[in-house]
Structure 1
Amino acid sequence: MKLAEALILRSDYQKRVEQLKNRLFQNVRVQEGDQPNEEPKVLVEELTELLVKLEKLIQDINRTNLHTKIDQSLYLADALTTRDIIGQERKIYSELIEQATERHDRYSRSEIKYVTIIQVKDTQKHIDELSQKYRLLDVKIQELNWKTDLIEK
């Protein structure tokens, strides 16, 4: 199985876990004399089995990320961390621009006037650079995900 396939499967497992949890919550209590729509014991067994599969899959994904090089000096796990930090930084600067460019209408000269004290144009340029770095790194990661075999224990 390729790493990308394992990532898709992990996402499916996580969605199924959430669905099973919700179904379990809906059937754990009923009015006295009524029967649940689904047997909670069966749902718990299915959930437990799925969580065991999810745990093994995540461990295999993590192992693969730790042992796969994206280039001579960078492992896939490190590239994922770098991509996440670039994304977080980009989000912070985008929110900063939103705050800086928010319009405050004044209805009289006596109201307080707000001024922006950052260079919006420069900040936007920095966001664009971060976006490009993110995209380029993400493309490399996605490409490698489809070329790399999952390392199973």
Structure 2
Amino acid sequence: MKLAEALAERAEATRRVEQLRARVVSSARHQEGETPAEDAARLLAEAGEVLDALETLIRRINRTNATVRVGPDGTLTDALARRDVLRLRHAVVTAAADAAAGTGERGYGRQLRSELMMLAALPVAELRAQADVLAREIREVDVRIQRTNWEADLLD
């Protein structure tokens, strides 16, 4: 099985556990004299089986991520960390540029000449250029990660 397939399976198992959890909760209590819509104990046991399989799958995915190399980024785990930090860095730089430009904020425009003028404390154009570079880096790392996900075999 390829790593990408295992990731899709993990997402499906996670969704299944959430569905089972909701069904257990809705069937856990019922009025005296009535029968519950579903057998909560059976649903709980099924959720336990899905969770056991999910744990095994997550262990294999993590083992694979820690072993498989992704070009200059090191292991897949390293590349994922790099992408996460690049996304955070991009969000910070973009927010700083938006704040300095006054984007989305009302009341910064002067109504009268006697009102104080708001000035940017940061170079907006430079921040936007930096955000563009970060966005490109994010895309490049993400492409390497996705390619590796489809090429790498899941480890045992």
Count of residue correspondences: 152
Identity %: 37
Structure-1-length-normalised TM-score: 0.90
Structure 1 gap segments, 5+ residues each: none
Superposed, which structure 2 residues align to 1:92-131 within 5 Å?
A: 92-100=92-100, 101-102=102-103, 103=105, 104-109=108-113, 111-131=115-135
Counterpart position of 2:52: 52
Counterpart position of 2:31: 31
Superposed, which structure 2 residues align to 1:1-153 within 5 Å?
A: 1-71=1-71, 74-100=74-100, 101-102=102-103, 103=105, 104-109=108-113, 111-152=115-156
- 1:21-74 deviation line (CA, Å, top 9, x unaligned): 111222222333332211110110111001101100000000001111112671
Aligned partner of residue 33 in structure 1, secondary structure: coil
1:88: Cα distance to partner? 1.1
Structure-2-length-normalised TM-score: 0.89
Structure 2 gap segments, 5+ residues each: none
- Residue 11 of structure 1 aligns to which amino acid in structure 2? A
Paired residues of 2:73 and 2:79 also in contact (CA < 8 A): no
- Residue 66 of structure 1 aligns to which amino acid in structure 2? A
Q: CA RMSD in A?
A: 1.7
Distance 2:112 2:26 in 1: 57
